[in-house]
Structure 1
Amino acid sequence: MDINQLKSLSIIPVLRKIPYEKSKDIVQALFDGGIRAIEITMESDRAELIIQETVAEFGEKMLVGAGTVLSIDDCKRAIKAGAQFIVSPAFDETVVAYAISANVPVIPGVFTPSEMLKAHNAGVAMVKLFPASVLGPGFIKDVKGPLADIQILTTGGITKETARDYLDAGAVGIGAGSALIKKEFIASNDWIGLVNEAKAWIQNTK
């Protein structure tokens, strides 16, 4: 996978601890709403199976990544399951090195300019600013001055209403969790509601 494919997508839903038995419906609803990349976190129930099944069903139409990758073991299991990109909430040099050696794009979590530069120098093509809402869009705008070449994905506390601000500040994309994949949609099997929510996020970030 070319990281440029991810850069062309403004919203990447984060599927964290979703019920396995509803995973296909959730992914289908997101796809129907226009989503073309998702992140399935490794602490989810049967995460590897969800990745495998999603890649088998949507692999040609949607990028399927693994999130909350905290160790080389997590990384190996995610890649073996078919993950097309790796996301971590923190910068672990061993995880980054392993993913790069496996030719799988890796997006480590960072919080400071020093971490951004260190990750960039380690060979990553994109970093994840997390938790982004603590710093706000202004931080991205400021840091993109001296670190213009670093591609920043933002995750953590971002809402449908604030997402556009982060993109305008220079972020290449938004990782959206429970603010998009709302618990009430899943609890009530309201897949039409999830489709419409995905559409609204995309509309707000155009």
Structure 2
Amino acid sequence: MKKVVAVIRGNTTEEAEMIAHGSVDGGISILEITYTVPNASTLIQKLSDTYGKKAVVGAGTVLDEITARLAILAGAAFIVSPSFNKEVAILCNRYRVPYLPGCYTAAEMIEALEYGSDVIKVFPGNTVSPSFISGMKGPLPQVQLMPSGGVNAENAKEWLDKGAAAISIGSSLYQSTREKVAEEAGRVIKNIKV
């Protein structure tokens, strides 16, 4: 499913890898490996090699241009940040890697657009409702928004129905086994298609 991003976190590289595999098993084909995961660059490279064209692997929680460059060298197909960073935007534009910064206000979104961001992460998404998307698209109809935080199987479809370009799902995927992760990912995909 091209409109769902699995945000992969974990206390260990192995835990994060298990969540990534379970997410793909469940039908999510876009993986955001956060730089809160130990050895995130190594995991990005490993998953990119493992999945090839079956999944798109990017980097999340990128706070500076040095980390963005490391992620790109590891094979990250996109870069996600919790906030907008001008230097990261410039670096990503230089290497033609999509940059999805976290923004919350119209002013932040306009600045991100001016620096070439095609998709903007609404963060923290759990502090707004899905109607935030349609509300923001009133004055900024060109903005492509992806809520992150608070998105789950129960409300995923509503976010998309309100105009989200994509949704970012994290904590609901953090299960104890690969099979349970796959089951939750599958539930998200099923509820979107309903």
Q: TM-score range by the shorter chain?
A: over 0.9
Alignment root-mean-square deviation, CA: 1.3
Partner Cα separation in structure 2 for residue 23 and residue 161 of structure 1: 23
1:21 pairs with 1, 14, 36, which one? 14
Matched, 1:50 2:43: yes
Q: CA deviation at 1:23?
A: 4.0
4+ runs of 1 displaced by more than 3 Å?
Answer: 22-25
Matched, 1:109 2:102: yes
What residue in structure 1 maps to residue 133 of structure 2?
A: 140
- Change in CA separation of 1:18 and 1:38 when aligned onto 2, cut-off 3 Å: farther
Matched, 1:127 2:114: no
| Structure 1: tracts of 5 or more residues without a match | 1-7
Which whole-Å deviations, capped at 9, do the CAs of 1:44-101 have from their partners, x for residues lacking one?
1110110010011012210001000000111011111110000001001111111111
8 Å CA contact retained: 1:160, 1:180: no
TM-score (norm 1): 0.89
Partner Cα separation in structure 2 for residue 117 and residue 158 of structure 1: 24
Q: CA deviation at 1:18?
A: 4.5
1:173 pairs with 166, 173, 178, which one? 166
| Structure 2: tracts of 5 or more residues without a match | none
1:34 pairs with 24, 27, 33, which one? 27
8 Å CA contact retained: 1:129, 1:154: yes
What residue in structure 2 maps to residue 200 of structure 1?
A: 187
8 Å CA contact retained: 1:91, 1:110: yes
Percent sequence identity over aligned pairs: 37
2:2 pairs with 3, 6, 9, which one? 9
Greater Cα offset, 155-164 or 52-61: 155-164
TM-score (norm 2): 0.94
